Structure formats: structure tokens, C-alpha cells
Amino acid sequence: MDDILREEQVVELSFVEGNVNLRVDDIIYIGTSRHKNVFYTAGETYSIYKKMDELEAELAGIIWKEVKVGMGFDRGS
């Protein structure tokens, strides 16, 4: 029931492909290699050049907790 009542979260990011309004629920995985991060969704793949720490700070309180759980990402927290 909580899933039905939960507000849909959308984040706007400046990817290499341009500015994209991305639904949090559409993010399947975030891959990273140095400063390049790739957001994988069911339909598209988006690249962004930022440090992972910068993404964490930018997305804190918006989506980061859900994404970390969803992708099994562990930074020691």
C-alpha cells in the first residue's frame, strides 16, 4: 500500500546526452569508472562525468538512499 501512496520522485541531471528528468524508480544501476558514471534504466543509458562523492552530495535526500539500496552500493556507511 505504501508504494501506491509514495510520491513519484524525479531528478534532473545534466548528462552528456543533455538535461534529463529521470524518475528514481527507472534507475536500475549506476556504474562508475573514475569520474564517469553511467545511469542504466530499462530504456536508456546516460553518462555523466562527476566524482561519485559529488553525485552523492547532489542527490542526498532526493534519491541516494533508494539507489544505494537498489544497487547494493556500499561506501562504508
Average pLDDT, integer, range 22-41: 87
Average pLDDT, integer, range 32-41: 88
Question: pLDDT confidence of 70, banded at 50, 70, 90?
Answer: very low
Please determine, for residue 66, whether its predicted confidence score (pLDDT) is greater than 70.
Answer: no
pLDDT at 29: 84
pLDDT at 4: 53
CATH of 2-71, one of 2.60.120, 3.40.50, 1.20.1530, 2.40.50: 2.40.50
Give the three-state DSSP class for 29: strand
The C-alpha cell at 27 is 534507475
d(CA 23, CA 15): 14
Per-residue pLDDT tens digits for 7-20? 678 888 999 999 99
Q: What is the residue type of 52? A: M
Average pLDDT score, the chain: 77
* 8 Å CB contact between 10 and 62: no
